[in-house]
């Protein structure tokens, strides 16, 4: 192994690492939520139809069904922006193909380097996305309503 080949391999690894980091920085940042909204999950009782003024009112109003409401925290993990890991695969294939071409002057070494680089780039991006899954997790508060006694403890 001569000096220029060794320098090419080291430079290729450096470029692959820097490209992978930059690709992740560009594709891996989660979207900033604008405003957390409180949502009502249970349906409210329908409003009674308006009565004509000429009808007399009932002596006793109908009792509303007993309900209790509570706030519940819900954690949601968003999908990564590059779900199919295309950036890592493409970047790995380019770098692997370049290294394969430097190692041997045949087309088969270039193709083998590209295939190996694509696999390695995909695995690296997968690991990075798994490590940063907690940054894509958001917690919201939802309002839940149900019959009395249905509140989880």
Q: Which residues contact 44 (CB under 8 A, 6 or more apart)?
A: 145
Q: Where are the domains of the chain?
A: 3-30+80-134
Distance from C-alpha of 27 to C-alpha of 107, rounded to nearest angstrom: 32
Q: Count other Cβ atoms within 10 Å, centred on residue 50.
A: 6
Position 37 pLDDT exceeds 60: no
State the pLDDT confidence band at 12, using cuts at 50, 70 and 90: confident
Q: What is the pLDDT of residues 71-111, one digit of tens each?
A: 999 988 888 888 888 899 999 999 999 999 888 878 999 99
Distance from C-alpha of 17 to C-alpha of 27, rounded to nearest angstrom: 15
DSSP state of 133: G
b/e map 10-29, b = 16+ CB within 10 Å: eebeeebeebbeebbeebbe
State the pLDDT confidence band at 60, using cuts at 50, 70 and 90: low
Q: What is the pLDDT of residues 120-150, one digit of tens each?
A: 999 999 999 888 888 888 889 999 888 888 8
Q: Provide the 3-class DSSP secondary structure of residue 134.
A: helix
State the pLDDT confidence band at 8, using cuts at 50, 70 and 90: confident
Q: pTM of this prediction?
A: 0.46
Q: Which residues contact 39 (CB under 8 A, 6 or more apart)?
A: 140, 142, 143
Q: Which residues contact 118 (CB under 8 A, 6 or more apart)?
A: 89, 90, 92, 93, 96
> According to the model, what pLDDT value does residue 30 have?
53
């Amino acid at each position: 192994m001569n000096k220029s080949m060794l320098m090419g391999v080291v430079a290729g690894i450096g470029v692959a690492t820097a490209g992978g980091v930059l690709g992740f920085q560009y594709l891996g940042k989660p979207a900033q939520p604008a405003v957390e909204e409180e949502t009502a999950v249970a349906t409210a009782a329908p409003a009674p139809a308006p009565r004509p003024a000429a009808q007399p009112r009932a002596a006793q109003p109908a009792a509303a069904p007993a309900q209790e409401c509570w706030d519940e925290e819900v954690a949601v993990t968003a999908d990564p922006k590059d779900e199919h890991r295309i950036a890592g695969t493409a970047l790995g294939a380019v770098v692997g193909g370049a290294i394969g071409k430097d190692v041997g002057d045949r087309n088969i070494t270039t193709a083998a380097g590209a295939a190996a680089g694509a696999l390695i780039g995909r695995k690296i991006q997968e690991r990075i996305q798994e490590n940063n899954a907690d940054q894509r997790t958001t917690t919201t508060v939802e309002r839940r309503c149900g019959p009395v006694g249905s509140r989880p403890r």
